[in-house]
Amino acid sequence: MPVLVMKFGGTSVATLDRIKRAAKRVGLEVAKGYDVIVIVSAMSGKTNELVGWVNETSPLYDAREYDAVVSSGENVTAGLMALTLQEMGVPARSWQGWQVPVKTTDAHSAARIEEIPPENITAKFAEGMKVAVVAGFQGVSPEGRITTLGRGGSDTTAVAFAAAFDAERCDIYTDVDGVYTTDPRISPKARKLDKISFEEMLELASLGAKVLQTRSVELAMRYKVKLRVLSSFEEPSDEAGTLVCDEEETMENRPVSGIAYSRDEAKMTLISVADRPGIAAAIFGPLSDAGVNVDMIIQNIADEGRTDMTFSCPTDQVMRAEKALQEAKDSGEINYSELVADTEVCKISAVGIGMRSQSGVASTMFKTLSDEGINIKVIATSEIKISVLIDRKYLELAVQSLHDAFELDKAE
Ligand code: ADP
Ligand code: ASP
Ligand code: MG
């Protein structure tokens, strides 16, 4: 039997009614002759609540226990979805990550899937089970402990299962009807794309567009998974949603194809550090060891022999960063006069494969922001993206005005 993977995000399983609705869609695919692997998220808001409880209990928590707690939301929805399908007369069984097993690295809270042996589930399909409902977002480490794959990780679970079972397609059901030129909740003019290239989707995702987890796009690209994003609230149709596919299959050829944002960024500046060989390693080594994801970095010369070093990281890692840098200072590895944290910034990025061959994107971006009176604090560029750090209060304005400036509301 051909295998289909269907993933339902938090809003699609937020209530028992919605689980029923999702189960009906699964039933339609079973009726078409598929063996279906359903990947479920926790009910919407549940993971945030669990993360909140962990933070309240232990701000610099042990990530193994974080995983034990935050993985639990998916267990509930997996069981409920299996029960709902059984009530409909569809033979279904739930699986937690460790039962499959979804083997991951031991990088707790940000683990990577290493292997999904298909045998256990395949054997059940052979016995007549029609649907395997798998708890997304979670796996098991080589030591046998529960791991999680980072926020939004159920997308990655879904794509990894599609690859492991050579599925015909991986359908990501969510609360929007596809991938848009920017977050439709921020810009009412956002336009739905019928297709988007893996590369652009990868860049958008890694720059904050949470419609797909970055790692899921990487895996789909590597294993040639046919990946579709669609709404669980609209009538089923074969043409629905957005197909994420190879560059040659996409139609548009404009310099910028999307605007992404990341709301919770912090800008940290170490004032007056010694400007000597090895200083960057001395600063960023301890940060990396502390699990801080440093993103942008700039160094500017202050006085003779001294320099200011600025970097950005997610706001929820500021405490870890401060602790790691203070320890490095106390042990004499680095010396700085002050550490200034600006936790009120966000990152806005323009993304497009067309940037490789068309110039002028940076100047349009900077002029647009300047016309709105928005000050740029840090800039970073790569072949197909330009990112800026700005005050968070301007997030909506920046996204909307850049979307207008690059005429993303208009189809080519
Ligand atoms: P789920 O719970 O189904 O995994 P998420 O909340 O993780 O859903 O992702 C879907 C959300 O992603 C949408 O509600 C939307 O606000 C946001 N989003 C951000 N950027 C985009 C984009 N370019 N296209 C579509 N949705 C986007
Ligand atoms: N429930 C997890 C989260 O909210 C995983 C997911 O929904 O993809 O991050
Ligand atoms: Mg998600």
Q: What are the tens digits of pLDDT across the range 368-396?
A: 999 999 999 999 999 999 999 999 999 99
Check if 27 has its Cβ closer than 6 Å to any atom of ligand 2: no
Q: Which atom of ligand 2 is nearest to the CA of 137?
A: 5
**Do 98 and 145 touch, CB atoms closer than 8 A?**
no
CA 78 / ligand 2 centre spacing (Å): 13
Which sequence spans correspond to the domains of the chain?
3-175, 259-405
**According to the model, what pLDDT value does residue 252 have?**
61
DSSP string, 30-57: HHTT-EEEEEE-PPTTHHHHHHHHHHHH
Tell me if 174 is assigned to a ligand binding site.
yes
How far does the centroid of ligand 2 lie from the alpha carbon of residue 43, in Å? 9
97 lines ligand 2 (CB under 6 A): no
User: DSSP per residue over 292-352, as a string?
Assistant: -----EEEEE-STTEEEEEEEEEGGGHHHHHHHHHHHHHTTS---SEEEEEEEEEEEEEE-
Give the CATH architecture of domain 259-405.
Answer: 2-Layer Sandwich (3.30)
CB neighbours (10 Å) of residue 389? 25
- pLDDT averaged per 10 residues, the chain (length 412): 97 98 97 97 98 95 97 98 98 98 97 98 97 98 98 98 98 97 97 94 96 98 97 87 85 85 97 91 95 92 85 95 96 94 98 90 96 96 95 98 96 80
Q: How many CB atoms lie within 10 A of CB 357?
A: 8
Q: What is the pLDDT of residue 295?
A: 95
* pLDDT of amino acid 97: 98
Residue ranges around ligand 1 (CB below 6 Å): 9-12, 41, 152, 174-176, 179-180, 182-185, 204, 209-211, 258
- CA distances 76 to 3, 10, 133, 172, Å, are 24, 12, 11, 20
Q: Is 9 annotated as a binding residue?
A: yes
Per CATH, the homologous superfamily of domain 3-175 is: Acetylglutamate kinase-like (3.40.1160.10)
Exposure string of 213-222, with b = 16+ CB inside 10 Å and e = fewer, is bbbbbbbbbe
How much is the pLDDT for 251? 60
- Per-residue model confidence (pLDDT) at position 248: 73
Question: What's the confidence (pLDDT) of residue 54?
Answer: 97
> Which of 174, 170, 380, 132 minimizes the C-alpha distance to 265?
380
Q: Which ligand is nearest to the CA of 8?
A: 1
Here the tokens at position 22 are 């999702």
Q: Which residues are placed with Cβ below 5 angstroms of ligand 3, an ion? A: 9, 152
